[in-house]
Amino acid sequence: MNETLKVLESRRSCRKFKSDAVKEEDLKAIIKAGTYAASGMGKQSAIIIAVSDKELRDELAKENAKIFGAPEGFDPFYGAPTILIVLANKSVPTYLYDGSLVMGNLMNAAESLGVGSIWIHRAKEEFESEFGKNILKKLGIEGDYEGIGHCAIGYAAEPAKDAAPRKENFVYCI
């Protein structure tokens, strides 16, 4: 089996990260892979906001936990030191799919480099709020963007669990 297929079969969500920063060269490679995700009509409607700044990362965690309804102090990013936020321009009809493909590329690229990842939701709600709008404003991002997800990345603090067995009737062939 080739390396790409091995990565696709072995990637699992990481729910316990070390605090170590992701190596700069790995972070750049993961982000670059996200920029090469397929997109409808090649419109590239998605953008990635890479957050390595601990203060902003912690503010994002707090806001995300609030939306989730989690108790005070809960970290929805499981301690991941870096958060890659994917948003997509709603003016493009395929924006949701485009952003989802970026998320997939980010997670698979991370796995290929020995970096753990997990897709955390509630980016939509975050970036509909004043909190998220202020982040976009500070970055000079204009347009009608919707949060697709957070790709929390870092080095896993424990080994990944085995894949669940594939369900019956997953594939139908004609």
**For 5-53, how does the pLDDT look when each residue is reduced to its tens digit (9 = 90+)?**
999 999 999 999 999 999 999 999 999 999 999 999 999 999 999 999 9
Please say whether the beta carbons of 160 and 14 come within 8 A. yes
- Residue 16 located in a structural domain: yes
- Residue 110 located in a structural domain: yes
**Per-residue pLDDT at 1 exceeds 90:** no
CATH number of domain containing 119? 3.40.109.10
**Residue type, position 58, single letter:** D
Nearest-5° angle of CA 92, CA 45, CA 48?
150
- Residue 60 located in a structural domain: yes
Mean pLDDT, to the nearest integer, of 84-89? Answer: 98
- Residue 161 located in a structural domain: no
* Structural domains of the chain, count: 1
- E strands, the chain, where? 46-51, 82-89, 116-120, 145-154
Nearest-5° angle of CA 155, CA 107, CA 117?
30
CA distances from 1 to 6, 96, 167 (A): 7, 31, 22
- Residue 168 located in a structural domain: no
- Residue 173 located in a structural domain: no
- Residue 170 located in a structural domain: no
- Residue 162 located in a structural domain: no
Domain limits at 98?
Answer: 3-154
Task: Name the pTM for this structure.
Answer: 0.96
Query: For the chain, what is the radius of gyration of the CA atoms?
Result: 16
The alpha carbon of 24 is separated from its chain's Cα centroid by a whole number of angstroms, namely 17
Tell me how far apart the alpha carbons of residues 108 and 4 are, in angstroms, rounded to a whole number. Answer: 9
